[in-house]
Amino acid sequence: MAITQPASRPDTKPVAVPANPRFSSGPCAKIPTFDLTKLGDAPLGRSHRAAPGKAKLLEAIETTREVLGVPADYRIGIVPASDTGAFEMAMWSLLGERPTEMVAWESFGAGWVTDVVKQLKIEAQVHTAEYGEIVDMAALNYDNDVCFTWNGTTSGVRMANGDAIPADRAGLTLCDATSAAFAMDLPWDKLDVTTFSWQKVLGGEAAHGMLILSPRAVERLESYTPAWPLPKIFRLTKGGKLNEGIFKGETINTPSMLCVEDYLLALDWAKSVGGLKGLIARADANTAAIAEFVEAHDWIDFLATDPATRSNTSVCLKFTDDRIQDGAAFAKAVAKRLADEGAALDVGAYRDAPPGLRIWCGGTVETADIEAMLPWLEWAFEAEINA
């Protein structure tokens, strides 16, 4: 009797794990060439206001400008408290001069709505969409100030472009671009305030925020004083004038020069892979590998309903198999299997988001690692559905 070989079964464990299984959406994977010994030039134990420290901070600002293509007349500052610090500093300093349009399609945008409605108590029109959907940006009143998130990190839904934002708007646009900067084209002429953190697409460290201001945002800062008090770490003006020092590296309080060095290393790597274009191509290739997998499997889909708004950084997926009874428990169990096998770390959906997986695809992630992880995803799904 002939012995039949078992057909290749999807529940057979793959052999190779990704060289780097870190797919967290923040802090994100460090640059592929990262090595702690490369931070040796950090001026540790020196004042950040001494010449070497100041030069590093200015270099961080100007290299950011170069890589992101930020216009020469926009200010770039390094501020405290990561992206949250940068965005809240902007809201607290600029809003209240006119009504505000608050836009949210996932939990971080929703957090900014809470800030404005419940804390600042500013007159606001709130525009929301469900997870997976996006707000119609053409329906907003741009005579008001508009606050929005370019890439919704917890839903994997991003702005396709900035076409809906009028060039001749009377209000300011405040954009939380923390999971978009260095992975997506940002139309600077449509953005008056842009914020991000080093810990996201470049795989830097948290705790420092980047605040980018258009000339119109500066004009507002110099012509309007909010009705509420501002703590020292939010103060961007001095005697009614912009505190220009902040935008030359004279930070409001003490930064970590180790983190600055790490950011400079990441920027250097970014330039080595082709700058912004290269970074976008890397994120797109990672996302395309996942899209191909999704296409080939009928039990998984993107949370983003419109491919045009699908993120190329925080890729959010949902399980669609009818056999799944408890979606949250199932997704958690799959994520645990992936972590236990060293195939993918930190890929569970964000706590406020619908159950599923979130796989970071920003430029510091290697496509080969995404490709090595996907057979494990298939294995983990099959193992869990048959458990």
Ligand X SMILES: Cc1ncc(COP(=O)(O)O)c(C=O)c1O
Which positions touch ligand X (CB under 6 A)? 26, 82-84, 108, 149, 153, 176, 178-179, 197, 199, 206
Name the minimum Å distance from CB 89 to ligand X.
11
Residue 159 or 300: the one with the smaller Cβ distance to ligand X is 159
Amino acid at 29: A
Least Cβ distance, residue 384 to ligand X (angstroms): 27
The residue among 109 and 375 lying less far from ligand X, judged by its C-beta, is 109
In the bound state with ligand X, the residue whose beta carbon lies nearer, of 26 and 162, is 26
The owner of tokens 């003490």 is: 254
Q: Which is nearer to ligand X, 144 or 179 (CB)?
A: 179
In this complex, which beta carbon is closest to ligand X, that of residue 152 or of residue 249? 152
DSSP bridge partners of 302? 317
Return the beta strands (E) in 162-299 as ranges: 173-176, 193-197, 208-213, 237-238, 241-242
Element of type H or E holding 264: helix 257-272
Q: Can you tell me the distance from the alpha carbon of 213 to that of 73, in angstroms, rounded to the nearest whole number?
A: 9
Least gap, CB of 203 to ligand X (angstroms): 13
Nearer to ligand X, 337 or 358 (CB): 358
Cβ at position 341, least distance to ligand X in Å: 25
CA atoms within 13 A on the CB side of 252: 22
CB 288 within 8 A of CB 85: no
Question: Minimum distance from CB of 200 to ligand X (Å)?
Answer: 7
φ/ψ bin of 346: left (φ > 0), alpha (ψ from -120 to 50), beta (otherwise): left
User: Contact 185/203 with Cβ under 8 angstroms?
Assistant: no
Q: Which of 379, 164, 375 is nearest to 290 (CA)?
A: 375
Minimum CB distance to ligand X, residue 199 (Å): 5
